[in-house]
Amino acid sequence: MSETSTTLPLPDQAREFGFFVDGDYVMAGDRELFERSSPAHDVPVSKIVKCSQDDLNDAVAAARRAFDDRRWSGLPGAQRAAVLLKAAAGIRARAEELAYFETLENGKPISQSRGEVEAAAGIYEYAAGAARALHGDSFNNLGDKLFGLVTREPVGVVGLITPWNFPFFILSERVPFILASGCTIVAKPSEVTSATTLIMAEILKEAGLPDGVYNVVTGSGSTVGQALIEHTDIDMVSFTGSTAVGHKVLAAAQGNFKKLGLELGGKNPQVVFADANLEDAADGVTFGICFNTGQCCVSGSRLIVEKSIAAEFEALLKERFAKVRVGDPLDPETQVGAITTNAQNDTITHYMESGKKSGARLVCGGDVIESEHGQYIQPTLFADVTSDMEIAKDEIFGPVLTMHTFESVDEAISIANDTIYGLAASVWSKNIDKALKASRQIQAGRMWINCTLAGGPELPIGGFKQSGWGRETGIYGVEEYTQIKSTHIELGDRDHWLS
């Protein structure tokens, strides 16, 4: 664990937030507050309202009014784009505040939070262009008397449920695209990381977003989140979280046949062939499992390495894992911060013990790091892992990497696909034929070749199999929040059915 000192001060007291409905904050009043402490420092940093069913109903009603009177959906794409561009500028103007609260509530390194906030501003800028590019189609092949139009219309009121691992970045992969489509939003962030979602409400209002278009309710997923999913005046739910909870979202959405966008869990392979640049691959694999403390749905948590180089590659990884700077997330030099919640810390330690008991060989790590404050886990590598082990099958959501070996391309692909998940994958090889074969046959919504966790908002994201359905970002991300309407227009006089 790094011994450097904190370079940013801790807050003197927790900042109290209201929830946001119809363009204004609603303060707690006699409602109960949830106090969030920094997982790295054990000091209170924010206070969030525990919203009631009535509060949720008010937020949904505000979003419904804003959608039905067309104050947003009725605007030209150019005007919606202008608001999104101003929002991007607003994010940059408040970047340090956003990054600071992201780190305080989540425990991720401040350098990572700053990078995510800057990238989020870029997503809003991209979505502004998409708002102007959204279009339908026409059919001029129906004969002289009939003309066809296909138009895209906003789906309506979107319930947006975001997780605690990337509170602001995942919000920013959703909100600007939902807004670009013309929809209105009721957002429900994780109760442990709500601050930046609420700050974004202020930024959007200042950017000129009409009241009622973006609303935020706060509280637990089991109460206000469940009620949001079940609400009959919500037209679509976008949910990011575990596959287990995703199953519950599916069941809850049946009441009014909501459209769903689901980005769920992953057990993502990183396939390393013997002809790869092993130094690059080792660096990429280390980054892929340690980024965001491994609390990342697209984390490269399964290493699948060619047997002939397995020992050499294992040594490279052990060396790199030892260099990872774990420590105070408010220190700009830190690369891996604190585990975000006590429950997740317990989950990760359970899997590390499971790996030891099941016969996997512990190469390095495998334990918590003793600290006066906060909860930290050593980057961990298990080798000699078999497919029946718990650590090989389950999403651990921490800095724990399992190592498997293969002897042929087909075997590598088979191991990569031997999972219920299909969110992301990486392939490391300097042989383009081999790399492309693997990338085409591995079942995953996102593929990286000789890189990992790379890219921007131009390409869509989403999963295969039990990693979810639907796509976010890119032009696909705007289209996701639309419905398609076919219109037939008859020209001239009608040929009468009755003579």
Catalytic residues: 263, 297
Backbone CA torsion sign across 222, 224, 227, 229: negative
Number of residues in the chain? 499
Lookup: tokens for 39: 């997982």
Torsion of CA 222, 224, 226, 228, to 10 degrees: -170
CA separation for the pair 307, 330 (Å, rounded): 40
Q: For 262, list phi and psi in degrees, rounded to 5.
A: -125, 120
Burial of 137 (0-12, 13-18, 19+ CB in 10 A): exposed
Strand partners, 19: 26
Q: By C-alpha distance, which of 254, 190, 160 is closest to 480?
A: 160
CA separation for the pair 35, 42 (Å, rounded): 11
